Structure 1
Amino acid sequence: MARTEQREIATKNGHTVSSTFYFPDIEMKGAILIVPAMGVTQAFYAPFAAWLTTHGYMVATFDYSGTGLSQTGHLRDARVTITDWADFDCTAMVEAMSNKANGTPLYWIGHSLGGQLIGMISNLHLVTKAFSIASGSGYWLDNVPSLKWRVWWLWFFVVPLTTRIYGYFPGKRLRKVGDLPSGVINQWRKWCLNPHYMVGAEGQKTRDKYRLVSTPIYSFSFTDDELMSKKNIDSLNSFYPASTIQVNRITPEEIGTQRIGHFGFFNVKFEQSLWASHLLPELH
């Protein structure tokens, strides 16, 4: 079992982010920040984080403000957006990890939304290499065909109605994504309705941030992803013209399994295939 510490990381907008630090028992090779998907709490990534420590990496997981262990008070009172998650939560976590890295490389592993936010981080220069796992643009007309009618219903009916009634998005009750602050779900809706996702919805300043990213990015995507199509993946990668992007699109068959999907990468059953054979060689 990895040695862990629970830490509250202060952000510059006055919030605290609940995080878990995992420490290796062997000489530290580097530090890895795991940046979560929308509506996914840090506990989901615990087995993966613990495994990384056995290979010499210090790892941190965390919950965005207003979610998981970082939720304080009622969600209807949470005044937070996805931009706040990037500008304050992620930036604070990168700084905290950089301070603990002891001069070793710092890596960003972002799942879904966590991979989308790479271009919004002001201190990304501290990151040696970024990994996006099942990350693509969320533009709804580029979604896989089976998803389009459901997201139409979500964005044009469910989200506007429920957030008006509850003051937040009651995703757990609806079995969709998870409970989210109104500012988060409304901004995400705006992104997903724009053909250029966040760089279109947020304007030129955000577009320029993505264009200037030079940090190398390694993109993992999966042909059976039920949420992200290849068009979604390619669209997100196109936001980074100055970055070197290595694309690894994986079929379940090539690793001897029937299914990977949007969340499967972090399943411990892929320890030898996806983790050891595909990810580990790129951590250098």
Structure 2
Amino acid sequence: METVPIQMPDGTTTPVRLFPGPEGAPVVVIVPGLGIPAAFYDRFANSIVDHGFCAATCELRGQGDSRPRPSASSTFGYQELVSVDLPAMFEAVRERFDSSTPFLLGHSMGGQLGVMYASRIRGRLGGLILVASGSPYYRGFPGTRSPGVLLGSAAMSITASVAGFWPGDRLDVGGFGRQSRVLISDWSRFARSGRIEPTGADIDYEERIGRLKLPVLSISIEGDDLAPRSASANLLDKLSGSEVTVWHQPEPLGHNGWISTPDTTVDRITEWIRDHC
């Protein structure tokens, strides 16, 4: 494994973890979920390499080995992550794997960011892989979870606004970790409205995403309460112009368990990539 540190314009340093495989093989670029360090995906990335591909993991700003941690001075949200951070990290991936086609794999919020990033660059990805990823829109959650998501997302946004950041290192709600108040505000707005309208948006993401024409593999996981199949379907509904394949992982691995128990999920992903190369 190789690590390349990327320095963002605001001084944040965020590393990309590179896992070389066969020369010229497709590279699976993993965008983590909220609060999950990139290193947590190492076993999964190594399994991708064992199947004959290359892999890379993009640390999200303020998580894992990224420094500094979010504070009251942090003003980044979805917009900065997809217009500044991901382009810089993908440039590092392309430099290292210059003859490889990149496939973006987004987990949870990483899938939302991946869809947004794809809508910005159009045509420079082999495809999108969304694992345990869906829209946080409250109407996509069954039963009593629906009002809970609505009220909880509003409460998180208010708390982050008052504190100056989301104090996830002290309030262990959802395992989100310490986060920028703008990022939490963007997520909360998405949860309330069902629309991707981040602070400072420079394009109409909803319109751009609808025009995307990419192969998409969406994998829901049995036992995943954070991204149930109905939430995954709500995110896929935005990708109306894309060729979508849906698979449900029947093993009860939950929202994160597939990362440390990767075999059958990696089998399905690599089979799909080979069909789309």
Aligned to 1:255: none
Pairwise CA RMSD: 2.4
| 1:34 and 2:26 aligned | no
| 1:45 and 2:41 aligned | yes
Q: Bigger shift: 243-252 or 119-128?
A: 119-128
Question: Which of 265, 269, 272 is matched with 1:274 structurally?
Answer: 265
Aligned residues: 269
- Tell me the distance in 2 between the aligned counterparts of 1:93 and 1:37: 16
Unmatched 5+ stretches in structure 2: none
Q: CA deviation at 1:5?
A: 1.6
Q: CA deviation at 1:134?
A: 1.1
Q: How does 1:123-142 map to 2 (within 5 A)?
A: 123-142=121-140
- Tell me the distance in 2 between the aligned counterparts of 1:35 and 1:73: 18
Q: CA deviation at 1:217?
A: 0.6
Unmatched 5+ stretches in structure 1: 253-258
Kindly indicate whether the alpha-carbon contact (under 8 Å) linking 1:147 and 1:227 is maintained by their aligned counterparts in 2: no
| Alignment CA distance shift 1:199-1:237 (3 Å) | farther
The one-letter amino acid paired with 2:135 is S
- Tell me the distance in 1 between the aligned counterparts of 2:172 and 2:210: 36
Q: Bigger shift: 201-210 or 83-92?
A: 201-210
Percent identity between matched residues is 22
TM-score, normalising length: structure 2: 0.87
- Tell me the distance in 2 between the aligned counterparts of 1:10 and 1:228: 32
Aligned to 2:95: 99
Aligned to 1:155: 153
Q: Bigger shift: 37-46 or 150-159?
A: 150-159
| Alignment CA distance shift 1:167-1:221 (3 Å) | same
Kindly indicate whether the alpha-carbon contact (under 8 Å) linking 1:118 and 1:124 is maintained by their aligned counterparts in 2: no
Q: CA deviation at 1:102?
A: 2.9
| Alignment CA distance shift 1:60-1:189 (3 Å) | same
- Tell me the distance in 2 between the aligned counterparts of 1:68 and 1:200: 23
Kindly indicate whether the alpha-carbon contact (under 8 Å) linking 2:166 and 2:184 is maintained by their aligned counterparts in 1: yes
Q: How does 1:172-251 map to 2 (within 5 A)?
A: 172-176=169-173, 177-194=176-193, 196-198=194-196, 205-251=204-250
Kindly indicate whether the alpha-carbon contact (under 8 Å) linking 1:34 and 1:59 is maintained by their aligned counterparts in 2: yes
Kindly indicate whether the alpha-carbon contact (under 8 Å) linking 2:59 and 2:65 is maintained by their aligned counterparts in 1: yes
Deviation per residue, 1:110-149 (Å, 9 max, x gap): 1011111233222242211110001111101322335335
Kindly indicate whether the alpha-carbon contact (under 8 Å) linking 2:29 and 2:56 is maintained by their aligned counterparts in 1: yes
Aligned to 2:254: 261
Q: Which has the larger helix fraction?
A: 1
Q: CA deviation at 1:85?
A: 0.7
| 1:72 and 2:68 aligned | yes
Higher relative contact order (CA 8 A, sep 6+): 2
Kindly indicate whether the alpha-carbon contact (under 8 Å) linking 1:119 and 1:213 is maintained by their aligned counterparts in 2: no
